[in-house]
A and B are shown apart, each in its own frame.
Chain A
Amino acid sequence: MNKPYNNKAWLGVLPVLLIVAFSGVVPLMTVVNYSVQDILDFNSRFFVGFQWYSETLQDPRFIDAFLRQLGFSASVLIIEIPLGLMLARGMPRDGLSASLLLVLLAIPLLIPWNVVGTIWQLYARADIGLLGVTLNALGISFNYTADPLHAWLTLLAMDIWHWTSLVALLAFAGLTSVPAPYYQAAELDGASKWQVFRYVELPRLKGVLVIAVLLRLMDSFMIYTEPFVLTGGGPGNATTFLSQHLATMAVGQFDLGPAAAFSVIYFLFILLFCWIFYSSVVREHD
């Protein structure tokens, strides 16, 4: 579309700007402000420069949480992206069954995140949970509250249950955008199923897959509620990821300075992802 140039358009974006500025910019400024000060109480503050930043980056608890986070996000991506893609390929393109499947897939995305944690608690507990009891009956002494490996596996299973649908729905949207003649032509060419996937579907899916990867990467990096409800970060620190580490610092311990510095580091990291995201999406758009 050929868009005319008109600066009066700013009137239209003004409301958005105000709301987001109020919700975002102001608080963010506060955080940056705190991150370079030592706040003992309301009236005594000292400017400390980048002290908090260097302390945070060297704090072993931070590094541990960061490494755990990386491991978690990597595992999540490796499983959810291919799985979502395969699910999308298996879905019928239209009809009643397609509608029902779409609704079913969308349900986990609309459950409050703490309820997701609760559902999996009830499901995986060794005493009252369907999964927990079944596994124990099969001879595996399964207990996610005591065993770190079990906790990790349960968390992974929960995240897959929760978010694979997003990848599947995105991939499905991409697949349904392939017009039928492309499949027809491939059929007349004598193309194999793999060739159809590689040459007809995959080029079309590139856009959605990039988005799926970045969304899952970012969101898994920010995950807080579900692991908090399911394991509380435990056993011990086994499942304490970055967000929870930050939440503990910020709310529980009133260490405003370091918490703020951590927040800024956290945000910058996400911003990096965002920049990659934007450049690939905009490149597709233009």
Chain B
Amino acid sequence: MAAIQLEELSFRYPGAEADTLAPLSLSVADGTAFALLGASGAGKTTLLNLLSGLLTPSSGRVLFDADDVSDLAGRQRNVAQVFQFPVLYESMSVAENLAFPLRARKFDPLWIDERVQRIAADLEITQQLPLVASQLSLFQKQLVAIGRALVRPDVSVVLLDEPLTAVEPRMKWRLRQTLRRVQEELGVTMIYVTHDQTEALTFADQVAVMAEGGLLQVGTPEQIYTTPSCEFVGYFIGSPGMNFVDAEQLAPSLSLLAGTQRVGFRPEWAQLQAQDAGQLRGVVKSIQLAGTEYGAATGVVRLQTAAGQIAVRGQLDVTVGQSVGIHLARHLCFSAQGQLLLEDYE
């Protein structure tokens, strides 16, 4: 396992007008479960390909444990990758598939057998070992693919490119669980690329949010959620995402930091009150039931205000068309450029 360091890494396709990946720097500690989160086109797959050696950086360096690997080919880097669909040797048995990376590097055959058994046991596919790979279900195949990535003891990092994509929907959660468990047990450095925030926030110790070839924020899932560094991150994370209103639309009773242009608040940070109370006034447009809490119906209420549409999460004791006041128990201040201004008030 290794710690990964990216120094001012950038990439541009030959003949392209702009960088696919703007110069960025990143540190991934050894043994971390790390998620790269972003919409398609954000540059996450490019970043992954720079890590695996499929692409060579246009500038900057890739370091595995302080070794510069930027110019090394994939096979020299000790990297393993799991793809969107199970990539196996379909004509070989599961055991042969798992043993292949070890045989190619000339490990001792007896030790290889032991290792294959151990990994298969970890992933709970021991029963499938003698079967030919093409006979397995998609879920099982992807487990084998993960096994192939984990089987080499000297692998620096395991890269995963949206590994849940091809798996049957009802098995996705199980695959996610297995990945998390195995990552913790083996202490493997894993870099997991996804566009699904639930996957990222539940799987990872650290999350990097990417957009348009740049890193927007790196932090724990908690940090990303409660203190997004910019409007985009706030809006992207959460379902529904963070609400944003122009500061001028709010009642002056709300204390704001200097330079605040926009105010952001998560749906659960707001409460609905009587029409005159609260910092903002709005009309209820729709009610979406999500569940109950202490016997009372809860869900998402969408309102039309002078500052635009917002969503509030809480008890559903209002009716459509009702005018209400919105009280912000908690909020964040954002500058004119959409950057977070620190020190929020409760």
Contacts and interface: CB of A to CB of B under 8 A. Distances in A.
Interface in B271-327: none
A244 B217 CA distance: 78
Given A199-B89, A199-B91, A188 B79 contact: yes
Interface residues of B, number: 22
A191 B87 CA distance: 14
Interface stretch (A158-166, A179-187, A232-240): A179-187
Interface in B53-110: 53-54, 73-75, 79-81, 83-85, 87, 89-92, 100-101, 104-105
A151 B157 CA distance: 62
Contacts of B85: 179, 181
B81 A185 contact: yes
Interface string B169-200: 00000000000000000000000000000000
A190 B90 CA distance: 18
Contacts of B83: 181, 184-185
B90 A203 contact: yes
B75 A187 contact: yes
Interface in A171-201: 179, 181-182, 184-185, 187-192, 195, 199-200
Nearest to A187: B74
B140 interface: no
A85 B4 CA distance: 42
Contact of B104 (A182, A184, A195, A200): A195
A185 B90 CA distance: 13
A203 B87 contact: no
B89 A187 contact: no
Contact of A184 (B81, B90, B101, B105): B81
B52 interface: yes
Contacts of B84: 181
Interface in A23-66: none
Nearest to B145: A185
Given A181-B83, A195-B104, A188 B74 contact: yes
Contacts of A190: 75, 101, 104-105
B98 to A, nearest CB: 11
B23 to A, nearest CB: 25
Nearest to B88: A185
Nearest to B81: A188
Contacts of B52: 184, 188
B90 A188 contact: no
A179 to B, nearest CB: 8
A184, A188, A189, A192 interface centre (most CB from chain B within 10 Å): A188
A189 B91 contact: no
A68 to B, nearest CB: 38
Interface string A89-104: 0000000000000000
Nearest to B96: A199
Contacts of A187: 53, 73-75
B76 to A, nearest CB: 9
Given A182-B87, A203-B91, A188 B104 contact: no
Contacts of A192: 104
Given A181-B83, A195-B104, A188 B89 contact: no
Contacts of A189: 75, 100-101, 104, 148
B117 to A, nearest CB: 19
Contacts of B148: 185, 189
A184 B54 contact: yes
A211 B231 CA distance: 58
B73 to A, nearest CB: 7
A179, A181, A189 interface centre (most CB from chain B within 10 Å): A189
Nearest to B49: A184
A218 B106 CA distance: 45
A191 B104 contact: yes
B81 to A, nearest CB: 6
B104 A199 contact: no
Contacts of A181: 83-85, 87
Contacts of B87: 179, 181-182, 184-185
Contacts of B104: 189-192, 195
Contacts of A200: 89
B3 to A, nearest CB: 20
Contact of B80 (A179, A188, A203): A188
A189 B105 CA distance: 8
Given A188-B81, A189-B100, 18 more contacts: A181-B84, A181-B85, A181-B87, A184-B74, A184-B81, A185-B81, A187-B53, A187-B73, A187-B74, A189-B101, A189-B104, A191-B104, A192-B104, A199-B89, A199-B91, A199-B100, A203-B90, A203-B91
26 contacts: A181-B83, A181-B85, A184-B52, A184-B54, A184-B81, A185-B81, A185-B83, A185-B87, A185-B148, A187-B73, A187-B74, A188-B52, A188-B53, A189-B75, A189-B101, A189-B104, A189-B148, A190-B105, A191-B100, A191-B104, A192-B104, A195-B104, A199-B89, A203-B89, A203-B90, A203-B91
In order of increasing CB-CB distance, the 5 nearest A-B pairs are A190-B104, A203-B91, A181-B83, A189-B101, A190-B75
